[in-house]
Structure 1
Amino acid sequence: MAKRTVKDLDVAGKRVIVRVDFNVPRKGDEITNDNRIVQALPTINYLVENKAKVILMSHLGKVNHKDPEKTEADKAKNNMACVGKRLGELVDTKVTFVPVTRGEELEKAVAEMNDGEIVLMQNTRYEKGESKNDPELAKYWASLGDLFVEDAFGSVHRAHASTAGIPSLLPNALGFLVEKEVSMLEKAVKTPEHPFVAIIGGAKVSDKIAVIDNLLKIADKVLIGGGMAYTFMVAQGGKVGTSLLEEDKVELAKEYLAKAGGKLVLPVDNVCADAFSEEANKMVC
């Protein structure tokens, strides 16, 4: 399946908005694993080398917009400043972190960019309208750029303002990371080599049910991991304590376990703890 990639765009001198996935694990302000930043570097470096003005957007963690007190606490906890600092250490160009998601400070930073420089915007989820794909927000963000590149593979399934709204308004293409993932998935789904084992993780069964459905048709085994495994375990009669659980999807999980005929494989052991903390008492069950 032919997809337009960043190489198909004329980026020299253009403002290129790149949706990246910089949702990195942290301990306080310290990034504990920078792999997601590193994975985005091929696209970022290509744009820098080809004299684009690179505007990076990403979410980081979650922000509760229903409770004002929690909103401010989540914003403080999920500030992108630490990401900007690490990115500056990994690229050979100027990186400007802008601590806001709209307004004069952001617009000025973009207007003053030279070719080959980078502006990293504050966490997209600071905006209430991000997860709702608010058209006004998407229009505003799109006004900052000339072109859009999608390189956040972990977020492309979400119809958010930064992932779906902006590309509906600007000429767009895939970045190298998403292109690679699409090619690998296409090969696995269309011309799989057997034995073919698929591994699916994530928190929610509801997010992955269509994927599970398709993979059961072509894979020899489908291994379920991550938080979604607990919904399947409860469907088998297990107990999961206070772990992630979609109670309203237990019956659906039962259906899939029956339909899979032994193809679905769940974890055989789990690390259990009495608190969600590194200091917790732990045991393998």
Structure 2
Amino acid sequence: MTWKTLDDMELAGKTVLTRVDINVPVEDGKVTDATRIERIVPTVKDILEKGGRPVLLAHFGRPEGKIVPEMSLKPLVPELEKAFGVPVRFAEDCIGLPAKKAVGALQTGEVLLLENTRFHDGEEKNDPMFAASLAALGELYCNDAFSAAHRAHGSTEGIAQLLPACAGRLMQAELKALEAALSAPARPVGAVVGGAKVSTKLDLLGNLVTKVDYLVIGGGMANTFLAAQGINVGKSLAEHDMTHTAVEIMKSAEDAGCTIVLPVDVVVAKEFAAGAANEVVAADACPADGMILDAGPETVEKINGVFGECQTLIWNGPLGAFEIEPFNAATNAAAKTAADLTKSGKLVSVAGGGDTVAALNAAGAADDFTYISTAGGAFLEWMEGKELPGVAALDET
């Protein structure tokens, strides 16, 4: 897939409709975490430096096509001005007369933020008339919201069909990282997939076993795979109705030459609580009244060995109940190994998904990974091998 970037566009004097993700947490009218705003700064500054006029399109919350004052984007203006270092104007609507007037009054060197696109039901329906109303406001379209690229909405897919389109810097970095990790990776390739349920990651597992050389399975999912091998997992979180599916996935992996890595030892406790009494036992020796809450040290050693063999690593999900100690030990140790290998230039590591980012941050490993995606659903759908409408719409071929 090929797409244009800001480097391929003539921006001087042009109004650039720029789709961004600034769906940030707000409390009492104040932004409590500006990470998503900070990540769009390179794109906005680039457009400004090249003489373009950035007009920001964004959603906020789930107003479901209705005007919900609490979901207005207006409170974000001060934080945007702080991040960009230039005046940020605001339009009370994203289409129609208020938007047209605001765009017409926008000066070079300023940024305009349009009101929540999801205040119109045409956004999520990808209504052609709504997309055309957005497109009428500008001359170029730049998508910098990979996190919304799995949605075929008016501001992500519809508008890209109507204007010359390109990827913003954040989108460009995300696509470059993902392509390096799965589309054309240096081999061997390893993947870590953790989390509670096999049922929520069937497409993901099915795609990965045909793409990677090693698949490390952790968290509650690993318990389901152990149970599928006839191992008693006690009171552990496991989907016993999915054991047949787990067997099929293991067979598919074998046929594809993918090695599945499951726990060989586990940390068990009788209660899921911080500091709960626990012990390390062999994976097939979980007590009937015990719960598997983490992978054991021998398993971590095995996983670290796999990382050492790999040149590329994709990570989604923790290896255990990382939210509470001491059941974060395996995730922390393996993450540190992946980070160290990346830092020394031996590994390209890409990670994403909500719990994953939290787990790697908690482990102090995130900063040394090659790329951390905050895209959530879009990252998962990409890992599942699905076409992302917002990315496909940028395709030049």
What TM-score, normalized by structure 1, do the two folds share? 0.74
Cα displacement (A) at 1:254:
8.2
1:160 partnered with 2:153: yes
Question: Following the alignment from structure 1 to structure 2, what is the Cα–Cα distance between the partners of residues 153 and 224?
Answer: 26
Post-superposition offset of 1:131? 1.1
2:171 counterpart letter in structure 1: V
Name the structure 2 match of 1:68: none
Q: Deviations over 1:11-32 (max 9, x none)?
A: 1111110111111123342222
C-alpha spacing 1:180/1:113, structure 2 compared with 1 (3 Å): same
Q: Is the CA contact (8 Å cut-off) linking 1:6 and 1:173 kept in structure 2? A: yes
Q: 1:193 to 1:262 in 2, by over 3 A?
A: same
Q: Which moved more, 1:83-92 or 1:206-215?
A: 206-215
C-alpha separation in 1, matches of 2:245 and 2:124 = 26
C-alpha contact 2:58 2:116 (8 A) present in aligned 1: yes
Alignment-mate amino acid for residue 159 of structure 2? I
1:81 is aligned to 74
1:231–1:253 CA contact under 8 A, matched in 2? no
Q: Tell me: CA distance 1:204–1:98, structure 2 relative to 1, closer, same or farther (3 Å).
A: farther
Deviations 1:162-188 (A, max 9, x none): 000000000111111111111111111
Q: Over residues 220-276 of structure 1, what are the superposed CA-to-partner deviations in whole Å (9 max), with x where a residue is unaligned? A: 555689xxx889988979669xxxxxxxx999788657755745876421649xxxx
Considering only CA atoms, is the larger Rg found in Structure 1 or Structure 2?
2
* Structure 2 counterpart of 1:278: none
Alignment counterpart, residue 116 of structure 2, candidates 101, 117, 123: 123
- Show the counterpart of 1:218: 211
Match of 1:268 among 320, 323, 326: 320
| Matched residue type, 1:121 | L
Residues of 2 paired with 1:26 and 1:201: CA distance? Answer: 30
SS at 2:157 equivalent = helix
Q: Structure 2 counterpart of 1:98, which letter?
A: A
* Offset at residue 136 of structure 1 (A): 0.7
SS of equivalent to 1:93: coil
**Compared CA separation, residues 266 and 40, structure 1 to 2 (3 A):** closer
Specify the alignment match of 1:283 in structure 2.
none
User: What is the 5 A alignment of 1:35-184?
Assistant: 35-65=35-65, 71=66, 75-184=68-177
Amino acid at match of 1:24: V
Please give the alpha-carbon distance, in whole angstroms, between the structure 2 residues aligned to 1:44 and 1:14: 13
Root-mean-square deviation over aligned CA pairs: 3.7
Mapping of residues 236-247 of structure 1, within 5 Å: none
Q: Can you list the C-alpha shifts for 1:129-149, whole angstroms capped at 9, x where unaligned? A: 211111110010000010101
Match of 2:6 in 1: 6
Distance apart, 1:64 and its partner CA? 3.5
Deviates more, 1:199-208 or 1:108-117: 199-208
Distance 1:142 1:34, change over 3 A: same
Q: d(CA) in 2 for partners of 1:141 and 1:35?
A: 26
Give secondary structure in 1 for the equivalent of 2:126: coil
Q: Is the 8 A contact 1:3 1:174 kept in 2?
A: yes
CA–CA separation in structure 1 for the residues paired with 2:174 and 2:149: 11
Partner-residue secondary structure (3-state), 1:173: strand
Distance 1:197-1:16 versus aligned 2 partners, 3 A rule = same
In the superposition, relative to structure 1, how do residues 211 and 102 fare at CA in structure 2: closer, same or farther (>3 Å)? Answer: same
Describe the SS at the equivalent of 2:103.
helix
**How far apart are the structure 1 equivalents of 2:103 and 2:165?**
19
Q: Which residue of 1 aligns with 2:18?
A: 18
For the residue of structure 1 that corresponds to 2:113, the secondary structure is strand
Give unpaired runs (5+ residues) of structure 1.
66-70, 241-248, 273-285
Opposite residue 40 of structure 1, the aligned amino acid is I
Distance in 1, matches of 2:203 and 2:167, equals 23
Q: What fraction of aligned residue pairs are identical, expressed as a percent?
A: 33
Structure 1 residues 126 and 250, CA gap change in structure 2 (3 angstroms): farther
Residues 142, 181 of structure 1: CA spacing in aligned structure 2 closer, same or farther, 3 A cutoff?
A: same
Q: Give, in angstroms, the shift of residue 60 of structure 1.
A: 1.5
Normalised TM-score (structure 2) = 0.55
The letter of the residue matching 1:125 is R
Q: Are the equivalent residues in 1 in contact too, given 2:224–2:243 (CA < 8 A)? A: yes
Counting matched residue pairs gives 256
Could you say which residue in structure 1 is the equivalent of 2:33? 33
The correspondence for 1:186, drawn from 163, 168, 179, is: 179
1:110 is displaced (CA, Å) by 0.3
User: Partners of 1:163 and 1:141 in 2: how far apart?
Assistant: 11
Cα deviation digits, residues 107-151 of structure 1 (max 9, x gap): 100011122321111111111121111111001000001010111
Deviates further, 24-33 or 131-140: 24-33
- 1:218 counterpart SS class: coil
- Please give the secondary structure, in 2, of the residue aligned with 1:129: helix
Query: Tell me, what secondary structure is at the counterpart of 1:130?
Result: helix
Corresponding residue for residue 245 of structure 1: none
Partner SS state of residue 122, structure 2: coil
